Amino acid sequence: MLFGNKELIFDKPLVMGIINITTDSFSDGGKFISNNLTSEFDLRKIIKEINFLEKSGASFIDIGAESTRPGYSPISTQEELDRLIPVLELISETKSIISIDTRKPEVMKEVLKFPIGLINDVSGLTSISGRKLVKNHNVPICVMHNSRDRTKSLEEDLDSFFKAQINQLTVFGIKEQNIILDPGFGYDKTFEENKKLLFDFDYSQYKNKVLIGLSRKGFLKKLFNEAKIEDIDEKSAIASIIAAENGANILRVHNVAKLSNKLEN
């Protein structure tokens, strides 16, 4: 599958690392802030982490500058770009596919001036301008199920949402093979629904590639009764492998090294 000018073969589950250039992401907000007295971000720390994720086995690196956690604080388009652009200017030689986690078409327009291989839009690429950009740049798009229709079962809801998204985007002119699906663990789903998505869902039923974001999700802490980051990273890796065994193709995690080691062993 092509991601910009790079090609990946999905003969095994691939790992996506996470870079949150934010102050309020749920588990790592503020990780790259220069010091406690300023809200500026340390580019050296960010680039060092990107290099580490790549060496640890990340086929993708998903970079986001606005938190999407419940109760997040929205930021302006300019602030999001001010966080993203300096990083993108320094990573042109990165071998991993660079994914940008954004909902704003204005941000998509600017970041697509760089060698971006994937747009990861948790809002489902609902804007016409966003769809035009994705179509014209022929860049893959990940769309996430983020709101439950409780008149339907979980399975029916996901199936109808994904079919509707694929239909709308392909009618618009976006290639079907460029649409990646994300069931949206933790987004408007109960503990039992998240468990069902993890243990009892067949992701191989879809022709499209499926991305799974389980890392450090609250329901895992409850499921495994874990609180420490190092412990939940271990469980996140195990849960990601379970999803892969059920047909998931891309596994999005904070601790790439831990998951990569488990996939190899």
Which residue among 131, 216, 252, 258 is the active-site one? 252
Helix (H) or strand (E) holding 129: helix 128-137
Helix (H) or strand (E) holding 230: helix 229-245
175 is catalytic: no
Which residue among 217, 221, 228, 262 is the active-site one? 217
Please tell me what DSSP assigns to residue 251: E
CA distance 203 to 210: 7
DSSP readout, 60-109? EEEEESS--STT-----HHHHHHHHHHHHTT-TT--SEEEEE---HHHHH
Sheet with 97-101, strands from edge to edge, namely: 179-182, 141-144, 118-121, 97-101, 60-64, 14-20, 250-253, 211-213
217 is catalytic: yes
Catalytic positions, written as ranges = 217, 252
